[in-house]
Structure formats: C-alpha cells, structure tokens
Amino acid sequence: SSVKHKLLEAFSKADGDFVSGQALADIIGCSRTAVWKHIESLRQEGFELEAVRKKGYRITSKPDKVSENELLIGLETVRLGKKVVFIESVESTQKEAHKLAEEAEEGTLVIAEEQTAGRGRMTREWHSPKYTGIWMSLILKPNLPPYKAPQFTLITAVAVTEAIRDAAGVMAEIKWPNDILLNGKKITGILTELQADSDQIRSIIIGIGMNVNQRQFPEELSNIATSISIEKGETVPRAKLVQAIMKNLELYYDEYMTNGFGLIKDKWESYAISIGRHIIARTVTGTIRGKALGITDEGVLKLQDENGMIHDIYSADIEIDQ
Ligand code: BTX
C-alpha cells in the first residue's frame, strides 16, 4: 500500500535512526494513534521495529524476502533466473510455470512466498508455508529428446546440494531420486515435469521446494522433515540460496549440454547417501531389498538383490535398510 511505502521510505531516509511518531503521522497524514496500527502491520510482515518513548520508532531488521529485486541484485548468471515471476501467494509455482512455459524465455523463474496447494510427485502434497521456504519452478528449453528429462532431476540435485553446502554451510546429501536430506531428514524435494512432443522437449519445468527458515513442522512431517535453520541454529537469507542454485544450475546445465552426463554423475554419486548401502526400494509393483550399486547415465538406480540379480529401478521411494 502507499502508506506502507511512505513509512518504509521515511525509515530508509533515517538510515537506522529513530523517526518520531509525530513525524510519521505527518508523513502519512494520519493521527499518532493510527501510526501504531501501521507499525503493527509492518511487524506482521516480518519487519522488526523498536519503539522508544519520546524517540519514536526505528527498524532493527527487515524481513527476508524473495521478490524480484532481492533475487536480481547479486545474481551471477547469464540466462537462468534473469526473468523472475514473483507471486506473493500462489496455489503452486509448478502450475504457474506450466501455464507460462510456452511463451516464456529459457531460464524464467516462477517463485512465491507461499503455496496454498504445493505438490510433490503423484498427488502428494508439499507443505509450503509463508516467508520461510523456497518455493520455485524454473523453465528450461533444452534441445533434447524427452527420455533425457529424468537426468535433469539429478543435475538439479547436484546443483542444489552444492548451493546448500556453499551458501548455508551445512552438509546436505542426496537421496535418490529427488530428495535432499540434512542429518537424515528431508530439506528439499525436486519435481521435474515436461511439456514435449514425441521426439523433442518443448519445456522442462523444474520445481524445487526447500525448507530454509521454518522453526517447526506439522505433526505428520515432524519425523521426516527439517529445515536448514533448525539444523544450523540460525536463519539463512533465502535470496542468497536461490542465487547460488541458479549459478550452479547454469554451470551444470552447460556442462551437461556440452560434455554430457559424466561429471554430473560422478558428483551425484559422491553426494548420495544410498550408494554402496543396503536399501529397501518400494515401487508401484512391489518392494525390493538389496545393495544400491550406483546410477546409470539415464538416472536409473542399479540395485543388486541377495541372489546377485541386478534390478533397474526407475521410480521408487527408498529407505536405508538398517
Ligand atoms: P515427493 O512426492 O517426493 O515428496 C512428497 C512427500 O514429502 C509428501 O508426501 C510428504 O510426506 C513430504 N513433504 C511434504 N511437504 C514437505 C516439506 N515441506 N518438507 C519435507 N517433506 C515434505 C517432492 O515430492 C517434490 C516436491 C516439489 C515441491 C516444489 S515447491 C515448488 C514447486 N511447486 C509445487 O507445487 N511443487 C514444486
């Protein structure tokens, strides 16, 4: 609103100093008691304000935002994330990106502060509360056949894992096929979807959901999910993480298009928790126990059962077999 705009401008001019209640009242043209109401609504939005009698108000900390300005200042990419579609509250950035994909230029990023109907694979829900996580969908347009698409989940997992390690300083690890864990609990889910003709990808839409600054989770997720701030004990600026993800993704996307999957596969295997270990894989057709040998160039998991037979796992939920 324009009142909010005027207030923020006044605080920004004061540069960390107090602005008196009367001065604020004059600037926005209301009574001193009404000023208090506007200050409260800034607090609701995540600003922290100190109020001192006879001195007035000052801003002590600004909310962590992922709007266009925050993302573009300091972004080090050439193509990815240069066009940002920011929506404060949306059903699903994935759904928005699907709508925009055909017209959008490659690298367009759809990002929201909150998703009201975020989703995972199949019809699973993705919990996406306001201001605390990264909920975004990136549109890519590689000149490739559709069967290559699953590799983008692996490229993304490598890029995101390194971004978390570098920008947040915590040891994220990959769990095949599309999760990133911290201390054994899920902090990120990746959802790769396609718009394609039979022989040619039109758009790949890479959805990334990352728990960054949540302090708690709903009951049903509390055993399996965590956030970077819960594990690290301090909050992390989300825009910085988004920028690091874009930078890494651009790097590995170019690497993949130029030199193929080799380097990315090596990195993926070195960050993965399950490779070399005994796991349980639950697929739609049944459950297989065995040792995870590695992934193929197509991102297929090789699983050796106790009879020595090697299974190709295309899609499953896996668990370490204790
Ligand atoms: P998935 O099917 O592998 O995982 C979904 C499962 O993860 C859920 O069934 C639930 O058990 C658990 N879960 C739900 N929310 C969370 C959460 N916040 N943290 C940890 N675990 C959770 C993973 O699907 C892919 C998720 C992609 C989400 C992004 S967000 C931006 C984009 N928009 C959108 O609607 N989806 C993607």
CATH number, domain with residue 77: 3.30.930.10
Answer yes or no: do 167 and 245 share one domain: yes
> Going edge to edge, which strands form the sheet with 173-175?
84-90, 109-115, 133-140, 201-211, 185-196, 179-182, 173-175
Q: Which atom of ligand 1 is nearest to the CA of 178?
A: 3
Q: What is the pLDDT of residue 177?
A: 87
**Per-residue pLDDT, 312:** 95
Q: Is residue 287 located within the same domain as residue 256?
A: no
How long, in residues, is the chain?
322
| Domain identity same for 84 and 182 | yes
pLDDT at residue 69 tops 90: no
Give the pocket of ligand 1 (CB within 6 Å): 92-94, 115, 118-121, 124-128, 135-137, 178, 186, 189-191, 207-209, 211, 221, 224-225
Cα 125 to ligand 1 centroid, rounded to whole Å? 6
Å from CA of 72 to ligand 1 middle: 26
Nearest residue by C-alpha to atom 7 in ligand 1: 126
Angle, vertex CA 154, rays to CA 243 and CA 313, nearest 5: 155
Helical (H) or strand (E) element with 133: strand 133-140
**For residue 249, what pLDDT is reported?**
98
Q: How far is the CA of 126 from the centre of ligand 1 (A)?
A: 4
Angle in degrees, CA 78, 82, 84, rounded to 5: 165
Q: Ligand 1: distance of its center to the CA of 195 in Å?
A: 21
Report the nearest atom of ligand 1 relative to the CA of 214: 18
Q: Ligand 1: which residue has its CA nearest to atom 19?
A: 225
Residue 283: which domain range?
278-320
Cα of 208 to ligand 1 centre, how many Å?
Answer: 9
Judge if 120 and 194 occupy the same domain.
Answer: yes
In percent, the amount of the chain with pLDDT more than 70 equals 100
Whether the pLDDT of residue 258 is over 90: the answer is yes
Could you tell me whether strands 185-196 and 179-182 are parallel, antiparallel, or unpaired per DSSP bridges? antiparallel
Q: How far apart are CA 208 and CA 120, in angstroms?
A: 10
User: For 20-42, what is the mean pLDDT?
Assistant: 92
Number of domains in the chain: 3
Residues 298 and 261 in one domain: no
CA-nearest residue for atom 21, ligand 1, is 225
- Closest residue by Cα to atom 5, ligand 1, is 120
Please tell me whether residues 245 and 229 are part of one structural domain: yes
Radius of gyration, alpha carbons of the chain: 23
Mutate to test the pocket of ligand 1, among 126, 230, 238 (most ligand atoms within 8 A of CB): 126
Q: pLDDT per residue over 93-150, tens digit each?
A: 999 999 999 999 999 999 999 999 999 998 899 999 999 999 999 999 999 999 999 8
End-to-end CA distance of the chain: 55
Cβ proximity of 217 and 225 under 8 Å: yes
Which pLDDT does position 1 carry in this prediction?
Answer: 63
Sign of torsion, CA 23 28 32 36? negative
pLDDT at 298: 81
Are residues 20 and 153 located together in one domain of the fold? no
pLDDT value for 292: 95
Query: Residues 60-79: what's their mean pLDDT?
Result: 90
Please report which confidence band the pLDDT of residue 303 belongs to, taking 50, 70 and 90 as the band edges.
very high
Residue 18: CB atoms within 10 Å: 17
How many A from CA of 221 to the centre of ligand 1?
A: 11
Residue nearest to atom 11 of ligand 1 (CA): 221
Mean pLDDT confidence for 140-165 = 96
CATH of the domain at 313: 2.30.30.100
Containing 90, the helix (H) or strand (E) segment is strand 84-90
Other beta carbons within 10 angstroms of residue 47's beta carbon come to 18
Are 167 and 215 in a shared domain?
Answer: yes
Give the mean model confidence (pLDDT) for residues 152-173: 97
pLDDT reported for residue 100 = 98
What contacts 238, CB < 8 A, 6 or more positions away? 64, 65, 66, 133, 134, 212, 213
Angle at 159 between CA 136 and CA 66, to 5 degrees: 30
How large is the average pLDDT for residues 261-278?
Answer: 93
Measured between alpha carbons, how far is 314 from 300 in angstroms, rounded to an integer?
5
Q: Which pLDDT score, from 0 to 100, does residue 47 have? A: 85
CA of 189 to the centre of ligand 1 (A): 5
Residue 119 alpha carbon to ligand 1 centre in Å: 6
Domain endpoint, select from 61, 78, 112 = 61
Provide, rounded to the nearest whole percent, the portion of the chain with pLDDT above 90.
Answer: 84
**Encoded amino acid at 202, one letter:** R
Q: What stretch of H or E contains 312?
A: strand 310-313
* pLDDT of amino acid 185: 97
> Which residue has a Cα nearest atom 18 of ligand 1?
127
